[in-house]
């Protein structure tokens, strides 16, 4: 988990470094968006098992087939031999720079929300120089280099340079087509350059938005996980400490009058403390489960220590296993609140198909967690658990005579 957390750290632009690095790597040489944006592509790349990480350079080589037009122009060139030789050298250098630049982009060279490395800038400048050197020998065919420059700027540099390179490439090609003699020969190149400009603009925007969505999703999942963990720890520790406190008070009263029972209560305190520690550990690891039967037994014991009578009507098996898990957590929190706030003498638990009711004859909800002063963490936790389980939680006055006490009803 540590490795993933490091890779997912957002940069200054608020975009996940892992996401933009992989996107830049896949797209640096004009790799089709379906390849690097496919579900799971980044996860596989992060683990080093993604085939693009091993064979992605092949895509750069495949796309270089479109440089066949400069090759043909050099073969047919009537320029001075020195310019033809320079053109061949520039063409080979362009291929080497482009492929190595693509590989550097895959390995985190920058672009798409990240600050490009110095090598990226130097590679881009060298690519432009190669194109300029090729012009005397290739003439208008040198326009075939522009789509590669556009893609490199779009995926390997900054957003500003994406626009600068795209606009410059479209303008330069348009000038050559409409103002130079025989320029209409390159009308198809103008169409390709313009279309590629639109594709690069849309695809890079989608990549950045996708990375931002992934970052926000990660933050939301982290926040929800923290809330769930806090709720679990609150329910578990709050209940356990409440019971331990009550038993400690009982032990203090029994030390002189009934030493044997005091020892038994101390043993219970030791057991509850060990269970609480184990519960916190399992909660942190995501493995905490409590059955309704176990919670009923625990609640009975807790109420007995507080001299509160307990009545249980119904069978825990009336609830489905999934419902029982939620019901056990609600019962735990209701038990904690009753022990802390209610000053009740009797508690009644009713279990039936798709329903659990916990009632006490205490002072009512106005004096405890969730009373007139507003809902506390415990009640909010109960509502969240009920909602997550597709259940409804009702909290109000008990049906006991006089309208005193608290009633917690959980229904599906």
User: What's the whole-model pTM score?
Assistant: 0.45
The percentage of residues in the chain with a pLDDT greater than 90, rounded to a whole number, is: 7
Using the predicted structure, report yes or no on whether residue 44 has a pLDDT greater than 50: no
CB 351 within 8 A of CB 257: no
Question: How far apart, in whole angstroms, are the C-alpha atoms of residue 321 and residue 317?
Answer: 8
Helix pair angle (187-257, 292-305), 10° resolution: 40
Highest mean pLDDT among 22-26, 125-129, 200-204, 369-373: 125-129
pLDDT of residue 10: 42
pLDDT of residue 6: 38
The full DSSP string for 220-260 is HHHHHHHHHHHHHHHHHHHHHHHHHHHHHHHHHHHHHH-HH
Higher pLDDT, 328 or 11: 328
pLDDT in tens, 89-127: 999 999 888 888 877 776 766 666 677 888 888 989 999
Higher pLDDT, 271 or 295: 295
pLDDT of residue 158: 83
- For the chain, the average pLDDT equals 74
Torsional class of 311: left (φ above 0), alpha (ψ -120 to 50), beta (otherwise):
beta
Torsional class of 138: left (φ above 0), alpha (ψ -120 to 50), beta (otherwise):
alpha
CA dihedral 190, 192, 193, 196 (to 10 degrees): 160
- For residues 213-241, give the mean pLDDT: 64
Question: How far apart, in whole angstroms, are the C-alpha atoms of residue 218 and residue 175?
Answer: 47
402 pLDDT band, cuts 50/70/90, is: low
Higher pLDDT, 172 or 30: 172
373 pLDDT band, cuts 50/70/90, is: very low
pLDDT of residue 225: 54
CB 35 within 8 A of CB 26: yes
CB 90 within 8 A of CB 130: yes
What are the C-alpha distances in Å from 361 to residues 89, 341, 365?
93, 12, 11
Non-local (6+) Cβ contacts of 393 within 8 A are 330, 382, 383, 386, 387, 408, 409, 410
pLDDT of residue 349: 92
CB 94 within 8 A of CB 169: no
231 pLDDT band, cuts 50/70/90, is: low
409 three-state secondary structure = strand
Question: How far apart, in whole angstroms, are the C-alpha atoms of residue 82 and residue 79?
Answer: 8
286 three-state secondary structure = coil
Angle value at C-alpha 253, between 247 and 257, nearest 5 degrees: 125
DSSP state of 107: T
Ordered structural domains, the chain, with CATH: 2-219 (no CATH), 290-412 (3.30.565.10)
The percentage of residues in the chain with a pLDDT greater than 70, rounded to a whole number, is: 69
311 three-state secondary structure = strand
């Amino acid at each position: 988990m540590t490795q993933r957390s490091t890779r997912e750290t957002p940069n200054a632009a608020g975009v996940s470094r892992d996401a933009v690095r992989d996107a830049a790597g896949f797209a640096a040489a004009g790799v089709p968006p379906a390849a690097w944006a496919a579900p799971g592509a980044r996860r596989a790349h992060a683990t080093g098992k993604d085939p693009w990480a091993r064979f992605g350079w092949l895509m750069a080589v495949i796309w270089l087939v479109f440089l066949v037009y400069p090759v043909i122009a050099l073969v047919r060139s009537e320029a001075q031999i020195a310019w033809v030789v320079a053109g061949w050298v520039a063409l080979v250098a362009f291929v080497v720079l482009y492929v190595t630049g693509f590989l550097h982009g895959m390995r985190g060279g920058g672009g798409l929300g990240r600050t490009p490395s110095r090598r990226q800038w130097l590679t881009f400048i060298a690519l432009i120089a190669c194109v300029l050197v090729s012009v005397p020998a290739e003439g208008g065919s040198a326009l075939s280099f522009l789509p590669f420059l556009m893609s490199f700027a779009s995926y390997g540099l900054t957003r500003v340079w994406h626009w600068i390179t795209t606009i410059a490439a479209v303008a330069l090609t348009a000038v050559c087509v409409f103002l130079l003699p025989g320029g209409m020969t390159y009308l198809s190149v103008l169409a390709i350059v313009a279309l590629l400009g639109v594709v690069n603009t849309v695809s890079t925007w989608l990549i950045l938005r996708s990375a931002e969505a992934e970052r926000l999703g990660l933050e939301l999942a982290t926040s929800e996980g923290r809330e769930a963990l806090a709720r679990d720890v609150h329910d578990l520790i709050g209940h356990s400490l409440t019971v331990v406190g009550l038993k400690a008070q009982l032990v203090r009263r029994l030390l002189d009058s009934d030493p044997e029972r005091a020892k038994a209560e101390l043993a219970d305190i030791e057991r509850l403390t060990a269970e609480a520690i184990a519960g916190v550990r399992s909660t942190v690891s995501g493995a905490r489960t409590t059955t309704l039967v176990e919670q009923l037994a625990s609640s009975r014991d807790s109420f007995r220590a507080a001299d509160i009578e307990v009545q249980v009507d119904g069978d825990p098996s009336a609830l489905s296993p999934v419902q029982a898990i939620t019901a056990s957590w609600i019962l735990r929190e209701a038990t904690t609140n009753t022990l802390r706030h209610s000053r009740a003498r009797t508690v009644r638990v009713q279990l039936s198909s798709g329903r659990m009711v916990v009632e006490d004859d205490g002072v009512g909800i106005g004096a405890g967690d969730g009373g007139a002063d507003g809902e506390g963490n415990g009640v909010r936790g109960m509502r969240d658990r009920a909602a997550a389980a597709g259940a409804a939680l009702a909290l109000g006055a008990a049906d006991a005579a006089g309208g005193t006490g608290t009633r917690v009803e959980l229904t599906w």
